[in-house]
Amino acid sequence: MSFDRYSRQERFKPIGVQGQEKLISKHVLVIGAGALGTSSAEQLVRGGVGKLTIVDRDYVEWSNLQRQQLFTEKDAKQRIPKAKAAESKLKEINSEVQIKGHIMDVQREELERLIDGVDVVLDATDNFDTRMLVNDVCQKHRIPWIYGGCVGSHGMSFTILPGETPCLQCLLESVPMGGATCDTVGVISPAVQMVTAHQVAEALKILVDDKEALIGKFVMFDLWNHHYTTMKVDRAKRETCPSCGVHATYPYLSPEYQTKTAVLCGRDTVQIRPPSKMVRDLDEVRMSLVDGEVEQNPFLLSYKKGDHRMIFFKDGRVLIHGTKDVTEARNLYHKIIG
């Protein structure tokens, strides 16, 4: 390790040399490699966290480049999966950190496996289905996680400590989360950075064992209109909560909550997930395509015909662009896959 690499961080008394040594031994899981995920991941890697795992189901598009750091025009042209593009860039930033990017749609089985040995989870997702799953897994395994959301010039963040703070299930009954998305009202990059500044600062406090410094409140802001609010939410914690209460059942880990199709956040895109684990042979898929435009890289195959584009991943998932209709998406899928 370079002697002075983390010198400025070590001079910050709340971290110091001992805190830096703790960081090097810690493992952070980032769910999502979009705007929030890439920003948080870069800060953590530059700060010297020992191990970072980043997970994402999507690939880089041109519209991502405005706010999703770590990605380049080359990544968008080649439709490189975000997890792999992020992993590559992060390894160039700090070769001393163990970095692993996973191209996958996070469901119960995947998350139960990924959570092993993790010290804190950062939420960088774009949907509440995944967040509720993360919430239940973290409650079950008693792992802190940090919620984050961003749209327009608005952002919000809250640190969830199992057994101590309200969980996301509790908060949904008392805190307005909003229903807008980046695709419907847009988003500005500074708002993203504000959210991740809160998330990463909170993560560092947890990782160096300085929980007394945690803000302990729900943070909301509107960066464009100069509004900043913190809310005490202690009373939101419910003993009867199915996710964190006295008799928790972790409902989002049950099979009925594991959907096989999902309309992606604010986009004309449906994801179809196979009913069981598999490894798809992309070359075999390519041979079955008799017309349309086909592009392929080591991670995925893109097939465009008419108004629709289908993206095939090795883990069996397919993204169908050009529709929000699950039935239509399934029909298109079955025409190719059977």
Q: Which residues pair with 219 in a beta bridge?
A: 157, 230
**H/E element, 282:** helix 282-288
Write down the pLDDT at residue 175.
Answer: 62
Q: In this structure, what token pair is assigned to residue 153?
A: 């010039």
Write down the pLDDT at residue 263.
Answer: 79
Q: State yes or no: pLDDT of 250 exceeds 80.
A: yes
Q: State yes or no: pLDDT of 182 exceeds 90.
A: no
266 pLDDT band, cuts 50/70/90, is low
| Mean of pLDDT values over 309-336 | 88
What percent of the chain clears pLDDT 70, i.e. is strictly above it?
Answer: 93
Q: Is 317 helix (H, G, I), strand (E, B) or coil?
A: coil
pTM, entire model: 0.85
Q: Is 34 helix (H, G, I), strand (E, B) or coil?
A: coil
Of 257, 271, 267, 220, nearest to 135 by C-alpha is 257
**pLDDT, tens only, 196-205:** 999 999 999 9
Q: Is 235 helix (H, G, I), strand (E, B) or coil?
A: helix
Write down the pLDDT at residue 335.
Answer: 77
Q: State yes or no: pLDDT of 1 exceeds 60.
A: no
DSSP 6: T
Ordered by where they begin, the domains of the chain are 7-255 (3.40.50.720), 259-337 (3.30.310)
| Mean of pLDDT values over 66-81 | 96
**pLDDT, tens only, 84-110:** 999 999 999 999 999 999 998 888 888
Averaged pLDDT score across all residues of the chain: 91
| Mean of pLDDT values over 23-32 | 97
**pLDDT, tens only, 322-334:** 998 887 888 788 7
